[in-house]
Structure formats: C-alpha cells, structure tokens
Amino acid sequence: MSTPRIGLTTGLLPDENGTFSSNLDSYLDALHQAGADPIPLYTTLPDKQPEVLAKGLSAILFCGGGDISPIHYHQDQTPLCETVNPARDLLEIPLARYAIDKKIPFLGICRGLQVINVALGGNLYQDIHEEKPEAIEHNYYGIRSRHYRSHFVSIDPASKLAQIIGVTHIKVNSLHHQGINVLAQGLHATAHARDGLVEAVEFPDHPFGLAVQWHPEEMTDSAEWRALFSALVVAARLYVQKGRKP
Ligand code: MN
C-alpha cells in the first residue's frame, strides 16, 4: 500500500540542520505512526497558492500555533491576542477554503480548528478569560505537560469523530487561550466542554473534514487518538484511489 503524503502547516522555519522543534515532532511522529509521509508546508515556500501547496498531497493537517490575526474576522486586535504570524495566516486560510472546496481530507488541531472556522466566516474569542469569564480553564500551556488531560468534552454521538474514536465523553488536554465564538455557517459543532465552548467541528458533505481544539498528537498513548490519525490516513488513501477528485 502506498504511503500517503500529508501536508502539515507550521509557524516554524526549517533550521540549518533540517531538524525541527519538539512541537512539530509530535505531529510528525503521530503521522508517521499512522503510516503517512508528513510534508511540512513552511511559510518560506516560494509559491503559497493553495493549488500549488496541495499538489501531490493526499490530506492536510492544520496544526497548532499562535493566534490568527483578528483582521481575518473583522475585529481590532486586543492586547491579549498575541504571537500573530501574518505569513502563516495567508498560507493557511486560503488552503483551508481550498481543502473544503476540493474535498481534500483534512484534520485541524487547536489553531487548526480556529483557522477552519475563520476561513469559513466565523470568529474567535481573542482571549477566553477576558471575553467568556464564566469559562473553565482551557489554557494549561506552560503550566502542565502537553499531554495533561484537564477537562472532559461531550461528543455528538452522530458525529464522525465519535464514530472514529468510539466514545462520546472523554478527558482531553487543553492548551488554548482562544476559541470559537461565532461558529461559521455550514460548520457543525460536534464536541463541547462543560462551559459550552466548542471543542470540535466537522464539515458536512466532505469525506473527512474534522477539527479539534485539543492536541491529539500529544496523546497518542491513547488508542482513541491513534485511531483519529489512522482515520485521516485511511481518508487520504481513499482520496488518492479516487484520483484526487472529490
Ligand atoms: Mn479546552
């Protein structure tokens, strides 16, 4: 069986030795483990047109990272919205629209979920503490290890996510200070935290269009999250078998 090439977005630059930071390593390991050939989509690539980036890829992983510029959802930036990387926004947002339009399988993780929502016209809490003070703690970044499961999510039993992982209630890690405020039209919220925050979305009428607010790549010691990456690889293979046509 062929090894599907799965593109993954990153805010990092290739370093002189061609090695990567530990964060990117987790995504690479999860994809390798699931049987994929991961292809980092650096913002330094000369041509960032989505059709050029997606050429030869069988699926796309929209990875975690810093905050999306609120320009892309028509808000002024607040002081708590940080680490904006304009080049990454400009690579990922058109690529997300392209993946949806061309029915290329994709998985969004953390920032990746937010990119999908913004690409489709939704918006974000620029900071959950500030804009949704009743929310539970979602930001364990730098406080606990990246695999620390901090809160439960309730998953819609009818969702693709529930079908893949086989459970509808599970404790996940939480390394985000932003989240979905207004859900984009056409996107389905398929998991919520107990404070009501959207923790997963799916795009209907798409072979595999999923995104989660947590970090499954840091929890591949659990069968559920290995199953999620395996499902992405199965969808990638199917996409190739069908001649990369929707
Ligand atoms: Mn969370």
For residue 119, give both structure tokens: 């690409």
pLDDT value at position 104?
97
Q: Is 199 designated active site? A: no
pLDDT value at position 173?
98
pLDDT value at position 118?
98
pLDDT value at position 16?
46
Q: Is 82 designated active site? A: no
From the CA of 176, how far away is ligand 1's center (Å)?
6
pLDDT value at position 20?
56
From the CA of 216, how far away is ligand 1's center (Å)?
12
From the CA of 144, how far away is ligand 1's center (Å)?
13
From the CA of 238, how far away is ligand 1's center (Å)?
31
Kindly write down the DSSP assignment for every residue of 129-151, as one continuous string.
Answer: HHH-TTSPP-B-TTTS-TT-EEE
From the CA of 191, how far away is ligand 1's center (Å)?
10
pLDDT < 70 positions in the chain: 1, 15-22, 245-246
Q: Measured between alpha carbons, how far is 103 from 58 in angstroms, rounded to an integer? A: 11
pLDDT value at position 68?
97
pLDDT value at position 23?
81
pLDDT value at position 14?
73
Who contacts 40 (Cβ-Cβ below 8 Å, separation ≥6)? 7, 8, 10, 12, 14, 20, 24
**Residue of 63, 72, 215, 218 with catalytic role:** 215
**Residue of 81, 92, 110, 202 with catalytic role:** 110
From the CA of 138, how far away is ligand 1's center (Å)?
4
Q: Is 110 designated active site? A: yes
Phi, psi of 188, deg, nearest 5: -105, 130
**Residue of 92, 202, 217, 218 with catalytic role:** 217
From the CA of 193, how far away is ligand 1's center (Å)?
7
pLDDT value at position 15?
66
